[in-house]
Amino acid sequence: MTLRRLSLLVGLFSLLAVGAERVEARDNFLIIVADDLGVDGVAVYSDDLAYGHPGEGADPPPTPRIDALAAGGVLFRNAYTNSKCAPSRAQILTGRHALRTGIGVPGAAVLDLAETTIAELVRATHATAAIGKWHVGPEDDADHPIEQGFDSFSGALNGNIDDYYDWTKTTNTDGGSPTIITSHSVYATDDNSAEAIAKIAEFGEDPWLVYLAFSAPHGPFHVPTPPLTTIVDAGSSNRSKYEAAVEAMDREIGNVIDSIPASILADTTIVFLGDNGTPSGVTESPFVSSHAKSTVYEGGINVPLIVKSPHAVPGTESMAFVQSTDVFATIADILGLESTAEDSLSLLPHVQDPTRGTHPARPYAYAEQFEPNGLSGPYTDHRKGIRDGQYKLIWRNGVFEEFFDLTASPFEDSNLLPYSGMTEAQKAAYDALVQHMEGVEASGLVACPTRADHGCTTGYGKAKLDWKENRGLGDKVTVKLTRGPALVQSDFGNPAEADGTAYSVCLYGDVDVLVGEMRVVRGGARCDGRECWKAAGGEAPEGKGYKYKDKLGSASGALKMQLIGGDVGKSKVIFGGRGLELPDGVTEALASSTSATVQVRGSEIAQCFAATVGAITKQETDRFKATN
């Protein structure tokens, strides 16, 4: 283990006090993807007793091995992804939304080789294998998984297999030649698990990452191999066959996990998730068939996500809003690497503390679908959905069509539109979701490193940090970095132009552990019906800098931000925020710190603006105030 990784783990465990300190860890990763499996298809999600509240779904198939993962890890109740398989797989592999990969529907889906995948993220330290359904490359291109960073591939290259007992299997390795069996007769689910078992055994003591993407329980509906408790034969209904396919996959997941030696399994993070909701043809009440897979309704995008890890609190549940894109940053966080995926936030804080709320940098869940594939359209069909803890907004082909209060209408059957008929509270929630949706499209969010970046050296002669926590609505933060170095407008990038610079304000305690993060949207986003950013002291490139204003504070609570250049001693960076969108627990985390460090980072710029404040004037559980 590197010193960097050891210090990361020690710092995080001491901060959150979760679990015992681990002397050594390989940090292996097993990423398991189920095809066409919503929350209504996993038994533990429908269990009314497991987590002390009503479950979801009516009569799911038995999934004892997936349920066991939940019992040994963290179940995420509010996990979201794309509504179709190829776009979701691209999101999992890259940590980036469809609007950035250009993969909006499965047809002719090709993940650009310029994208950084989870395999490329860990390639310097880990052996890697992709097994099962690929479906993000050119048709019959056996080299595509290898070119995307995996050491080996075994499975079905294209989309859905036509017959689980008669399918085309491709095997390839880095530096080798592909082997293709055009009529492979081994049941696909069993074959996938056997390949995973063999690869993990081959890796031995070396650290590894295995991406195991089952075709199951996607159609064609069929009779799986035994043993099964689900009674099914050729004449059974599609629903019965679907349930049997889920059970067979669950059985094979168990076989893979059982094959891993205990000492290696103890150092392995297992992530299990669905790639989209349950298909409409096999959906059962209370879920609605018209709101299932291939839609941006809840039944199409809310999926099971379970993380069992040596870093996790066993048998717990997280209610935070998370997304399939977050797998990428989670792997990076565990390994002490920097994630470059702008739509990915690490799940590690939630795994270590399942009571932690939704990340303030992304207080919503987002999904979209479009066709044909491509980055810029024009699209013949384009749909987007976004939700927070209570409300859901759906946009289709240029029109905001539906708005739901999910507390009163969990299955999205009571549209609150038109706008004129809503209450003031509903209108405010609607306006915030519109702004968030526009912000997703305009933003390329830049994440704060988990540890303070000591290369962030653009310093300021005077600095102030004042953080108050007062029951959410009363939360307030002020950051002022003044008397800075000589800076010109271009040193800040350009947040005022479309797809311009995005910023994060990162706050660290005196042990360099991240305790607070505020992300501010990049150019193109609108606040209160107008551009959030505008040039200050003249238009680029002749001005002094940029100013941001948003009275709703919808981007991490940010009400204002100023990035102002000038001669030596004249430049400054100012941030002000308030309300529920600010991160929680900052003052508590700083209660025993002897200093705090503020780092302001921008996407696509070399400068990183920083100051450390050590002259503390207030240090209480609800207030931290310090200067330098």
CA distance 479 to 465: 5
1 within a domain of the structure (yes/no): no
Residues 303 and 375 grouped into a single domain:
no
Given a cut of 50, whether residue 19 has pLDDT beyond it is no
Residues 97 and 217 grouped into a single domain:
yes
Q: pLDDT-derived band of residue 443, with 50, 70 and 90 as boundaries?
A: low
**Domain extent at residue 427:** 366-442
Q: DSSP per residue over 116-173, as a string?
A: PPHHHHHTTT-EEEEEEE--SSSTT-TTHHHHTT-SEEEEE-SS--S-TTSEEEEEEE
Please tell me the total count of domains within the chain: 3
313 within a domain of the structure (yes/no): yes
Q: pLDDT-derived band of residue 458, with 50, 70 and 90 as boundaries?
A: confident
What average pLDDT does the segment 13-42 reach?
70
Residues 37 and 116 grouped into a single domain:
yes
245 within a domain of the structure (yes/no): yes
Residues 585 and 551 grouped into a single domain:
yes
449 within a domain of the structure (yes/no): no
- Chain centroid to CA 580: how far? 21
Q: pLDDT tens digits for 352-381?
A: 999 998 887 788 999 999 999 998 778 999
Mean model confidence pLDDT for the chain: 90
Question: Which of 588, 575, 600, 582 minimizes the C-alpha distance to 506?
Answer: 600
**Residue 397 is part of a domain; what is its CATH number?**
3.30.1120
Residues 409 and 498 grouped into a single domain:
no
Residues 54 and 102 grouped into a single domain:
yes
60 within a domain of the structure (yes/no): yes
Residues 267 and 289 grouped into a single domain:
yes
The confidence score (pLDDT) of residue 20 equals 34
Contact 152, 174 (CB under 8 A): yes
Contact 273, 308 (CB under 8 A): no
Burial of 223 (0-12, 13-18, 19+ CB in 10 A): buried
Q: pLDDT tens digits for 194-221?
A: 999 999 999 999 999 999 999 999 999 9
200: Cβ contacts below 8 Å, ≥ 6 apart: 30, 208, 210, 256, 259, 260, 264
Dihedral of the CA atoms 304, 284, 394, 445 (nearest 10)?
A: 10
**Residue 266 is part of a domain; what is its CATH number?**
3.40.720.10
CA distance 199 to 250: 19
Contact 460, 481 (CB under 8 A): yes
Q: pLDDT tens digits for 105-135?
A: 998 899 999 999 999 999 999 999 999 999 9
315 within a domain of the structure (yes/no): yes
CA distance 573 to 561: 7
- Among 314, 331, 356, which residue terminates a domain? 356
Per cent of the chain over pLDDT 70 is 93
- Among 324, 356, 388, which residue terminates a domain? 356
595 within a domain of the structure (yes/no): yes
Q: Which two tokens stand for residue 616?
A: 């503390």
- Among 338, 356, 374, which residue terminates a domain? 356
Q: pLDDT tens digits for 493-538?
A: 998 887 678 888 999 998 888 898 888 876 666 777 788 899 999 8
Q: pLDDT tens digits for 527-586?
A: 777 888 999 998 888 899 999 998 888 778 899 999 999 999 999 999 999 987 788 889
Residues 259 and 152 grouped into a single domain:
yes
Q: pLDDT tens digits for 231-278?
A: 999 999 999 999 999 999 999 999 999 999 999 999 999 999 999 999
Residues 308 and 397 grouped into a single domain:
no
Residues 282 and 316 grouped into a single domain:
yes
Contact 426, 483 (CB under 8 A): no
201 within a domain of the structure (yes/no): yes
CA distance 308 to 316: 10
Residues 249 and 334 grouped into a single domain:
yes
Residues 502 and 429 grouped into a single domain:
no
